[in-house]
């Protein structure tokens, strides 16, 4: 009982300051009342609409009145943006209509007046879009995040190829994360072995070299990669001075995918080395000598005796690096340029620039789900409480 009472304050704190915000965000990816609240009457009337022909006059009249009302309440812009996200091009139709409808036509003439303002009002798909934008609870952000769309008939279809953005980006994020994980393993395994088998004093010194980047500010490290890799940077200067490249052949290694991969590998390498090192430290060097004395070549002894024993470390390090890589934001944002952006950068873009918060939340929700699953695997295989820091 006392144990639970000690944990409770922090648990409550994390729930209030961290979990609740995530829950609210996920709520936003599924729930959006803005259009439904702005066009209640129209949406009610549209429910009875057959979905095929142009809706009846009453729908037009209600739509016109509610658009004018929204314009008066200054919410029209937001409503129009929401509808536009369901069907591109409708924003201007809504804004234009509300502007021109001010001299209200007599009753019975709304339909003609609106179609005269923009013929799109005469098309069924416009009204389908309004109806879908008016759903309070919706999966459309998730569909959008997976490059899917709901057909007017109700089925789910893939977006046309030129509009598929997120799945390719998701694939790229997974591929880059996998590549970085392998790169970290390739670079990290040999040095972890070196440290684990060095005499204590030297091991400690080498471990500090691994820890230095771990502790150094991320922004400092990002700055230094810019200084090193940019076209007028240290490495290009060196190559040019050595005559290895001509002045006009300087290599672009930053503000593209190369920059993202190099800087992220640097950031994540310690997370690979440390778990590997903790496992390797417990493997007695005698095993390898025993294998050698029994006639195994180094490669055989390594493959059959050493490598299998390090698998827990390999799994822990790889999972950790992969989990951290798929959610990485800062480095790609600063040194990734156009081609080096990952899914996190798209979340930030929709949060800060396009202001499509529902979509940002859905993308975040998908990413969070992926990380959560991987974390469960990590917890099963390694255990969070066995994580070593620094």
| Comparison of 283 and 351: residue with beta carbon closer to another protein | 351
CA distance 255 to 336: 5
Say which residue the tokens 């037009």 belong to: 60
| Comparison of 51 and 370: residue with beta carbon closer to another protein | 370
| Residue from 350, 169, 351 nearest 260 by CA | 169
**Shortest spacing between CB 3 and another protein, in angstroms:** 4
What's the token pair of residue 217?
């500010």
| Comparison of 70 and 334: residue with beta carbon closer to another protein | 334
**Shortest spacing between CB 384 and another protein, in angstroms:** 5
**Shortest spacing between CB 216 and another protein, in angstroms:** 5
What's the token pair of residue 268?
């994540």
Q: Residue 195: which residues within 8 A CB-CB, separation 6 or more?
A: 203, 206, 207, 210, 273, 277, 280
CA distance 351 to 261: 24
| Comparison of 15 and 251: residue with beta carbon closer to another protein | 15
Phi then psi for residue 132, to 5 deg, are -70, -40
* 3-state secondary structure at position 31: strand
Q: Residue 359: which residues within 8 A CB-CB, separation 6 or more?
A: 29, 85, 141, 144, 145, 350
With 0-12 CB in 10 A as exposed, 13-18 as middle and 19+ as buried, what is 334? buried
| Comparison of 163 and 251: residue with beta carbon closer to another protein | 251
| Comparison of 39 and 367: residue with beta carbon closer to another protein | 367
| Comparison of 49 and 329: residue with beta carbon closer to another protein | 329
Which one-letter DSSP state was computed for residue 134? T
**Shortest spacing between CB 221 and another protein, in angstroms:** 5
CA distance 313 to 304: 16
**Shortest spacing between CB 187 and another protein, in angstroms:** 5
**Shortest spacing between CB 145 and another protein, in angstroms:** 13
**Shortest spacing between CB 220 and another protein, in angstroms:** 4
| Comparison of 117 and 288: residue with beta carbon closer to another protein | 288
* 3-state secondary structure at position 340: coil
**Shortest spacing between CB 224 and another protein, in angstroms:** 3
Say which residue the tokens 């810019």 belong to: 226
157 strand-pairing partners: 149
């Amino acid at each position: 009982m006392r144990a639970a009472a000690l944990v409770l304050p922090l648990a409550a704190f994390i729930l209030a300051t961290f979990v609740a915000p995530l829950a609210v965000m996920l709520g936003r990816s599924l729930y959006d009342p803005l259009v439904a609240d702005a066009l209640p009457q129209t949406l009610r009337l549209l429910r009875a609409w057959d979905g095929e022909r142009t809706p009846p006059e009453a729908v037009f009249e209600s739509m016109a009145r509610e658009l004018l009302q929204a314009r008066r309440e200054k919410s029209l812009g937001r409503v129009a943006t929401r509808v536009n996200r369901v069907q591109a091009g409708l924003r201007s139709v809504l804004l234009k209509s509300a502007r021109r409808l001010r001299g209200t036509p007599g009753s019975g003439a709304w339909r003609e007046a609106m179609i005269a303002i923009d013929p799109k009002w005469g098309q069924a798909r416009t009204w389908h879009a309004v109806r879908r934008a008016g759903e309070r609870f919706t999966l459309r952000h998730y569909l959008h995040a997976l490059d899917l769309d709901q057909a007017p008939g109700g089925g789910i279809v893939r977006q046309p190829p030129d509009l598929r953005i997120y799945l390719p980006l998701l694939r790229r994020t997974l591929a880059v994360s996998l590549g970085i994980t392998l790169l970290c393993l390739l670079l990290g395994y040999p040095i972890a072995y070196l440290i684990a088998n060095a005499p204590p004093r030297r091991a400690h010194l080498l471990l500090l070299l691994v820890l230095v980047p771990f502790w150094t500010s991320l922004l400092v490290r990002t700055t230094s990669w810019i200084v090193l890799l940019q076209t007028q940077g240290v490495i290009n200067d060196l190559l040019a001075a050595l005559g290895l490249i001509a002045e006009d052949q300087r290599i672009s290694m930053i503000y593209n995918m190369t920059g993202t991969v190099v800087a992220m590998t640097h950031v994540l390498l310690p997370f690979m080395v440390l778990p590997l090192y903790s496992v390797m430290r417990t493997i007695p060097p005698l095993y390898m000598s025993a294998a050698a004395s029994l006639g195994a070549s180094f490669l055989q002894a390594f493959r059959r005796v050493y490598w299998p024993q390090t698998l827990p470390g390999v799994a822990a390090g790889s999972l950790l690096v992969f989990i951290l890589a798929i959610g990485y934001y800062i480095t790609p944002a600063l040194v990734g340029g156009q081609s080096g952006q990952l899914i996190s950068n798209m979340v930030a873009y929709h949060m800060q620039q396009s202001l499509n918060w529902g979509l940002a939340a859905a993308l975040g929700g998908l990413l969070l789900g992926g990380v959560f699953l991987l974390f469960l695997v990590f917890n099963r295989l390694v255990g969070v409480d066995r994580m070593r820091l620094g």
